[in-house]
């Protein structure tokens, strides 16, 4: 059975690697390692289809070391033992281990001494952040390199190579395809060369020749073959958290267009619950006292979205995202509570004053519980000076504000008036 086009077009030399100039370009780290023949174990981390396996095969092809590819999730310890024996016989073996984040402790413990000897060069591939998902024992023995999505120009170059390569590519087919259609393949696959190559192969193999013996790949054919495009969002991967982070930072930065874009990514991925939860956090953390009404409307919008479900839920969530993005901002709520929690974590605590303690039980008055409490509603303006904080924290201020709205300015004025009365 013939392998997919993306598999057949994997580079056999470091010069054939598409993109990743920060790793394999002239004078860059992996190229220097190959040229000096001083390879170390490494972990390649990045989205699917960006060239992690290609870099590994290119390193093996350039150095002429023995090469074996295994999967940490599906291949057994016995498979690893076979790879180690091959390394002993060949002198050095490059082991590409896909999904290295799923390597269990038994397999890891077996590999570690062989990595130490240098006979086995491990190249781990993962789509997940290795600083979060990979055991420190493996991380400490490997260099970590991030592999980035390819640009549209790099993907087009890869497609053109495949169309002209008669041995491994589609060069034996008489294909007619415009530059605009090639660009469409590149744009829709969002940096994933594997998806682009396999979609191109599907287009070529499924399209009959015309009267002139040509296989004409039109825009419509390309769209059919790409309709199940990959969304750059994996709920269990790093990209998931990057999108959530970008949504909050865009709203905080008042960029409504970026905020809508990242919201759309979450909704396209079906992440309604995550989108609702994040908007709720943003409303209270980043807008809060700057526009309390917007916070209330966000809660209402989220309730509506949860009742509606997708796709209609996008409308109230868009409503909330737009208003939050363009509202006055205030982080007073989070900075104030965090200041109080920092003090507690630092051991700055004290006993609750006796007059504030619970007095709803027999004998409380004998203990002095609540006996000197002054009921504020019984005083003019519903305020009376008395101590509320523990004695050792009486002058501590946790309320930290930088008002950016008339509402918060009013709160600050009330606060300042209360503080002035306390100092009289």
Residues 352 and 287 in one domain: no
pLDDT at 418: 86
112 in a domain, yes or no?
yes
205 in a domain, yes or no?
yes
232 in a domain, yes or no?
no
233 in a domain, yes or no?
no
Q: What pTM was estimated for this model as a whole? A: 0.65
332 in a domain, yes or no?
no
Report the SS3 class of residue 332. helix
Q: Count up the domains in the chain and report the number.
A: 4
pLDDT at 67 over 80: yes
pLDDT at 296 over 90: yes
Residues 14 and 100 in one domain: yes
Residues 198 and 299 in one domain: no
**Of 225, 249, 270, which residue sits at a domain end?**
225
pLDDT at 383 over 80: yes
pLDDT category, 235, cuts 50, 70, 90?
low
Residues 103 and 188 in one domain: no
pLDDT at 363 over 50: yes
User: What would the two tokens of residue 376 be?
Assistant: 């504020």
The domain spanning residue 169 has which CATH number? Answer: 1.10.8.60
Q: What number is the average pLDDT over the span 169-177?
A: 93
pLDDT at 39 over 80: yes
pLDDT at 234: 52
pLDDT category, 236, cuts 50, 70, 90?
low
Residues 106 and 133 in one domain: yes
Start-to-end CA span in the chain (Å): 90
pLDDT at 229 over 70: no
pLDDT at 231 over 60: no
* 65 Cβ contact partners less than 8 Å away, ≥ 6 residues apart: 39, 59, 90, 92, 93, 94, 121
pLDDT category, 230, cuts 50, 70, 90?
very low
pLDDT at 79 over 70: yes
Report the SS3 class of residue 84. helix
Q: What number is the average pLDDT over the span 391-404?
A: 87
Q: What number is the average pLDDT over the span 322-332?
A: 94
User: What would the two tokens of residue 64 be?
Assistant: 């002429």
Domain range holding 382?
Answer: 348-423
The domain spanning residue 270 has which CATH number? Answer: 1.20.272.10
């Amino acid at each position: 059975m013939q392998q997919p086009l993306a598999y057949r077009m994997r580079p056999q030399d470091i010069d054939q690697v598409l993109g990743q100039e920060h790793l394999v370009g002239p004078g860059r780290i992996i190229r220097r390692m190959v040229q000096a023949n001083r390879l170390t174990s490494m972990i390649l981390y990045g989205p699917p289809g960006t060239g992690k396996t290609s870099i590994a095969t290119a390193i093996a092809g350039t150095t002429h070391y023995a090469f074996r590819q295994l999967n940490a999730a599906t291949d057994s310890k016995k498979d690893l033992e076979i790879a180690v024996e091959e390394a002993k016989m060949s002198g050095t073996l490059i082991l590409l281990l896909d999904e290295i984040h799923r390597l269990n402790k038994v397999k890891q413990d077996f590999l570690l001494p062989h990595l130490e000897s240098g006979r086995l060069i491990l190249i781990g591939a993962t789509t997940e952040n290795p600083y979060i998902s990979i055991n420190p024992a493996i991380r400490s023995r490997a260099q970590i390199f991030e592999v980035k999505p390819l640009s549209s120009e790099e993907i087009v170059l890869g497609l053109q190579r495949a169309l002209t390569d008669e041995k491994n590519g589609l060069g034996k087919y008489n294909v007619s395809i415009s530059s605009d259609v090639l660009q469409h393949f590149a744009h829709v696959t969002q940096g994933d060369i594997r998806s682009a190559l396999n979609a191109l192969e599907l287009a070529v193999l499924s399209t009959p020749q015309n009267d002139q013996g040509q296989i004409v790949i039109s825009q419509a054919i390309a769209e059919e073959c790409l309709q199940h495009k990959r969304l750059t969002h994996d709920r269990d991967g790093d990209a998931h958290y990057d999108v959530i982070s970008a949504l909050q930072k865009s709203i905080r930065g008042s960029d409504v267009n970026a905020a809508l874009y990242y919201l759309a990514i979450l909704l396209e991925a079906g992440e309604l619950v995550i989108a609702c939860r994040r908007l709720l956090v943003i409303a209270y953390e980043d807008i809060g006292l700057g526009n309390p009404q917007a916070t209330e409307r966000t809660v209402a919008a989220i309730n509506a979205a949860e009742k509606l479900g997708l796709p209609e839920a996008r409308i109230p969530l868009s409503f909330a995202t737009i208003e939050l993005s363009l509202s006055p901002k205030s982080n007073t709520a989070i900075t104030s509570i965090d200041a109080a929690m920092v003090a507690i974590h630092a051991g700055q605590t004290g006993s609750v004053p006796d007059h504030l303690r619970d007095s709803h039980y027999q004998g409380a008055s004998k203990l002095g519980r609540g006996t000197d409490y002054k009921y504020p509603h019984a005083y003019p303006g519903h305020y009376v000076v008395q101590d509320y904080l523990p004695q050792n924290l009486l002058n501590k201020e946790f309320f930290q504000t930088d008002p950016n709205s008339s509402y918060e300015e009013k709160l600050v004025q009330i606060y300042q008036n209360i503080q002035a009365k306390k100092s009289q």
